[in-house]
Structure 1
Amino acid sequence: MAPAITTLAADAPALSAANTGFMLICSALVMLMTPGLAFFYGGMVRVKSTLNMLMMSFVSLGIVTILWVLYGFSIAFGTDVGSIVGWSSDYVGLSGIGITELWDGYTIPVYVFAVFQLMFAVITPALISGALADRVKFTAWALFITLWATIVYFPVAHWVWGSGGWLFEMGVIDFAGGTAVHINAGAAALGVILVIGKRVGFKKDPMRPHSLPLVMLGAALLWFGWFGFNAGSWLGNDDGVGAVMFVNTQVATAAAMLAWLAYEKIRHGSFTTLGAASGAVAGLVAITPAGGSVSPLGAIAVGAVAGLLCAMAVGLKYKFGYDDSLDVVGVHLVGGIVGSLLVGFFATGGVQSDAKGLFYGGGLEQLGKQAIGVFAVLAYSLIASAILALIVDKTIGMRVSEDDEVSGIDQVEHAETAYDFSGAGGGTSSRTTAAAPAPAVTENKKVDA
């Protein structure tokens, strides 16, 4: 994420209609990623959990949006307080911001920066939901993401991107969210599943994706939206850095998909559509922190390493016994770590900043900074998320009952089903308003009215 730059009044930039329009389009692209994630996750679960997965992502659009307006933007990007959080009264309720007031050092309005960052805040807790498929109460999930966004995401965003944030001031490079989004969400997912436990039938019952076309659709929407996620994070389009990030996003994603498929073929003997979709997402995750620092050849390396390591990592849940339903830990946590650390090897010093990685003569300095950022965010999110999940579990309860889980969380939590096989409709209203069947008529016999 591009830093806020302090400028002299005489050099203050003027509002750019082109950059403003570009950033609004990027914001819309990032917003589309959350429904895309919902489809991606929704296709990966069994039929009886499809709607719940869609809703766990979709509700984040509602909850996090309101929190962001009320106080989230202020905590994340307000005036620094102790290098840990921000706070600006003008940002509370977005009430003290002029419509043409510019984000410091840039040519876009504060409102545009705020809405772009809002979309990052929305998708991050939604990412966590994939690890919790089949077994979490919807009310508990809504409460959890309210607490998590407030206590974990908003402060971590300030650490990484806010002027004065301690990782920002240290020089940790995170172009668009490797630490603040993916490591943050992946570590949170691990923390929560260690508290709530495994699904009924984990490692015993088949839990295959019910709709691979839905998975591929979701992956395609994520890939499409990710261009706004990454290229937009330079907050403008004047100097070519965003264009490099756009190219690197495509290149790394392609490399990761191919690396995952190659691993699958060697290890399991087949090229799967699920592997293609997962590999693409792994590449998108890994290039997110690194894409503004590396060349296209470096992006190939980042993507290939991420695709291979994430493909290997998804099997760790069976080895260690944690039930990460849809491989949030294996893809987002591992992919975020890989991309963030590889900045320390492949940063050229000629794109986003002059920081150079080990392979470009920069020594180990940047790698050390990246490692501090990675493990600080990982540890904080893991511990804080586990504590929050424990609090929710001990108060209102996190999990549905075992019987409800087995019968299907869609029907229990949402009174609906994803697919109508009866012709009567899948929702409550369609069931309760359907016309009563006509009385049976026996041939050649009179039926009383």
Structure 2
Amino acid sequence: MKPTLRPSGWLRPASMASVLAIGSLALALLLDGPLATTAHAATAAPQGAESTTTAGTSPDTRPEIVRRGEYLARAGDCIACHTAPRGRLFAGGLAMETPFGTLYSPNITPDPQYGIGTWSEEAFFKMMRTGRKPDGAPIYPAMPVAQYTKVTREDSDAIFAFLKTVEPVRQPNHPHTLRFPFNQRDLLYGWRTLYFHEGEFKSDPTKSVEWNRGAYLVEGLGHCTMCHTRINMLGGSSPREQFAGGLIPVQNWYAPSLTSDKDGGLGDWSIQDIVDLLQAGISNRGAVYGPMAEVTYHSLQHLSEEDIRAMAVYLKSLPDQGGRKTGPSATPNPKVFALGKQIYADKCAICHGDNGEGQLPQYPPLAGNQSIEMDSAVNPIRIVLNGGFPPGTKRNPQPFGMPPFGQELNDAEAAAVVTFIRTAWGNHGLPVSAREVNELRKAPLH
């Protein structure tokens, strides 16, 4: 059976670079591994001569199993890392810059020399469950090993069956170029002791079937915690901070909290608001850009209504740990506020309204917008500088975009307009400085 999954084009650079969800929800698909890389491709496939033959029974490639595996590969967004721009499907080669060097995603086509053509479904499942290559070496957690360990054997076998049907690509794997000592895989054993907890997802018998399905997708294949949980100095994360948000290393975007209303939570979102954002890329509460746009484009828009709703039900249930910000707005420098107000009226009000009310669903409101009010000002600054487009989806095939203003506004002007939208109309954000803007001009655009 020939698979139907194909890379359907790549998002334009402005969209790929701008991760702000102008609303409260953004599930950006980026790395939170121990080396703080900027993507989460697996490093599990054999590297040429390192290939390990793993004999075993052939996978079940009945059409219904392959179709299910293709669907699950969409849910796991495998294509995002294992297919390079303008590259062959699942042939790897995507470069992931890190502070310690570069990782490259591997070839996971069924090529026997460079891909997974010699793997058995047992070897593939052990890789998913244990986070180890067939030769026993630990996988760099650029692949979401701490999340994929929760995937069931049945789902793992279906994904493997699908991958065995894609076109083999005889493309060598690019060796990683990590600096010493980060190129020593033995260092991963310490990280695994602290942060890797092997085991399949366990349903909560006190919750509904729908809630448990959503939890399985969000915590497992969807690996949403990879961005929405703060990364510590050791490159790990604490279960106590799960979904509490954090700055994405290297790319310098902030993945908002999904648990706290005061910092971008979902407390006053409806289930339908969340469903619309995940599946269409826009909703009455906001729009997705950049890496989250890629998640919607490559993955979420292809999931069933039932699965998207299950994810929304689970996300909506995450406890509110902080509550909305209240009290008077911050008082910025009057001259800065006046300059920002003037720039807003000239360049922003035509879409977002004189009073930040927006024009739903294409132009989200800025007044009372949690993503604008977050303690971190990274996302509003970057969206003003870089602009972006939500993804083109089946439900929203012709999205409206946000133009970049980085080439028109100097650092002081960009800081002024961001300060204005964060403090006007009763918003409870803090002012930003020209220095903060200048630093983010250096951030990568992809």
TM-score (norm 1): 0.26
Identify the structure with the greater helix proportion.
1
User: Rg larger in 1 or in 2?
Assistant: 1
